Amino acid sequence: MTFLSNIFMPFALLFSTLLVGQHQSNLPLVYNCPFTETEIQIDGNMDLAWYNSEWSSTFIDIEGDPQPAPYLETKFKMLWSEKYLYVWAWMEEPHVWATLLNHDDIVYRDNDFEVFIDPDGDTHNYMEIEVNAHNTILDLFLPKPYREGGPLQIQWTPEGLSSAIGIQGSLNDPNHQDTSWCVEMAIPFSALNAMPSQGDHWRINFSRVQYESEIKDNRYSKQKDSTNRFLPEHNWVWSPQGIINMHYPEKWGYVFFTDDSVKRETKHPEDASVRLALYELYYQQKEHFKKNGSYTRNIPETITVQGESVKLIVDEIQKSSFLFKVVWKSHYVHLRHDGKIWLSQL
């Protein structure tokens, strides 16, 4: 959800050495996306090609543990071809409803399913696509996350996008008990200005926005509290964010593009842990700036990654900017004050 969300979590004070060992169990999830030579018909029905793809793990609360598990199941499959990134999402739902009908309506005001894609994993220039049970699409592009000023580009549209809804039950009919609804989607790589090769990985995440509903005058309505405000929505995701905000792309999952349907061993990229360590420093710098109007020069000399002490190299640190890097394996890993992260060869 919530491209309008502006929620930030508090961060700890700086230490001489930044310890991140406790975060290693919080690595983003990994999914292996197999290649298909079959052109899938996007109609909300599961073609045979989908049986060559594994189901994801069941969605959990956006904040992760110890939040309660969602009371309805959500999961997805993915495939890729020479032209498209395919997504199939299945959502358990006894009451399928939707209200919004126009392209670029604020779709998350209904129950919806959302796709977030950052092809190069630098947390900049990423896309979001939302869809409700009417198959109404909200699509948008962000040059930077909202915390860095965005700005939101709602005029962006992925040309050639195809989507369809499958409903096991009925839409907007409270007289019938439903079972689930499905989203099928083909996203052209041309619309993303990126094309993967076998073995590449992208940063991707998925979210389901779910409201508590009730039936009034034989129609579905979102429930309200004692002050007549809508109850807050549930946010259920594939790879947990640890915060009620999907626009932390560094926390999204890793999707690997594989060459066949053989089940692969689930492995993270070599730089997954060091990225988390650098972002802990980034969050702390942001908290210092929020309180003091400048970034602090009191930074650790090393960060600890997978039990290894790694020297932090300061390329720049000014009142309103910084640039750090570390040597990890055969690369430099760079992190800038606006959250952009990238690799370069030693």
Q: How far apart are CA 255 and CA 113, in angstroms?
A: 18
| pLDDT for residue 117 is more than 90 | yes
Alpha-carbon torsion (41, 47, 48, 49), positive or negative: positive
Residue with tokens 């860095």: 148
The number of helices, as runs of H, and strands, as runs of E, in the chain is 2, 21
Give the pLDDT mean for 193-201: 96
Please say whether the beta carbons of 274 and 112 come within 8 A.
Answer: no
Alpha-carbon torsion (204, 51, 83, 268), positive or negative: positive
28-257 has which CATH code?
Answer: 2.60.40.1190
What is the DSSP pairing of strand 302-305 with strand 17-19? parallel
Residue with tokens 């579905």: 220
Please say whether the beta carbons of 346 and 330 come within 8 A.
Answer: yes
Distance from CA of residue 205 to its chain's centroid? 3
Alpha helices, DSSP H only, in the chain? 189-192, 272-292
For 49-102, the pLDDT digits (tens) are 999 999 999 999 999 998 999 999 999 999 999 999 999 999 999 999 999 999
Please say whether the beta carbons of 106 and 90 come within 8 A.
Answer: no
- pLDDT given at position 4: 45
Q: How far apart are CA 27 and CA 276, in angstroms?
A: 8
- pLDDT given at position 6: 34
Percentage of residues of the chain with pLDDT beyond 90 = 88
pTM for the full predicted model? 0.92
Closest CA to 113 of 169, 74, 160, 63: 74
* pLDDT tier at 266, thresholds 50, 70, 90: confident
Amino acid letter for position 178: D
Angle formed at CA 324 by CA 248 and CA 197, multiple of 5 degrees? 60
| pLDDT for residue 300 is more than 50 | yes
Give the pLDDT mean for 200-216: 97
Show the tokens assigned to 74.
């959500």
| pLDDT for residue 161 is more than 60 | yes
| pLDDT for residue 26 is more than 90 | no
Q: How far apart are CA 338 and CA 336, in angstroms?
A: 5
Q: How far apart are CA 27 and CA 286, in angstroms?
A: 21
Residue with tokens 């200005």: 193
Please say whether the beta carbons of 194 and 218 come within 8 A.
Answer: no
Please say whether the beta carbons of 319 and 295 come within 8 A.
Answer: yes
Give the pLDDT mean for 230-236: 97
| pLDDT for residue 7 is more than 60 | no
**For residue 59, what are the CA distances in angstroms to 66, 215, 279, 331?**
14, 26, 24, 33
**Non-local CB neighbours of 74 within 8 Å, separated by 6+ positions:** 58, 59, 89, 90, 91, 92, 208, 236
- pLDDT given at position 11: 31
* pLDDT tier at 115, thresholds 50, 70, 90: very high
| pLDDT for residue 2 is more than 90 | no
Alpha helices, DSSP H only, in 120-209? 189-192
Alpha-carbon torsion (282, 241, 344, 147), positive or negative: negative
Mean pLDDT of the chain: 92
